[in-house]
Amino acid sequence: MFFILGMTNGRQDFDYRDTIICPSCGRLGGCRVFMTYMQVLLFFIPCFRWNKAYYVEMSCCKRVFKLNPRIGIIIQHGGKERIRQEDLMPL
């Protein structure tokens, strides 16, 4: 009996469209939300993810902010939560 284990990091983009006033440049910008994570592969099949972090990339100035994970989890599960400026932390 043997196992083939691997470890990778990955990125998942969410289908989320909203516009907010950008905390960086002050213009109205579109938000693109994505998540990064580490995952264990067992026989090349992803089976466990951890170290998840949620980010927002602004369309106006391409600045990336860390997103409040509470909002990120809602968006990940298809919820319609509005992102507010206070949910964004500069990297």
Work out whether 60 is an interface residue with Zn ion (CB under 5 A).
yes
Work out whether 24 is an interface residue with Zn ion (CB under 5 A).
yes
Of the residues 16, 20, 22, 31, which one makes contact with Zn ion according to CB under 5 A: 22
Task: Select from 9, 16, 19 the least CA-distant residue to 60.
Answer: 19
Quote the least distance from Cβ 81 to Zn ion, whole Å. Answer: 20
Work out whether 61 is an interface residue with Zn ion (CB under 5 A).
yes
Tell me how many degrees the CA angle 84-59-18 measures, rounded to the nearest 5: 40
Per CB under 5 A, the segment of 6-14, 29-37, 38-46, 49-57 that binds Zn ion is 29-37
Helix (H, G, I), strand (E, B) or coil at 59: coil
Size of the site for Zn ion (CB under 5 A): 7
Contact (CB, 8 A) for 56 and 64 = yes
Kindly list the residues in this chain that would bind Zn ion in the complex (CB under 5 A). Answer: 22, 24-25, 29, 58, 60-61
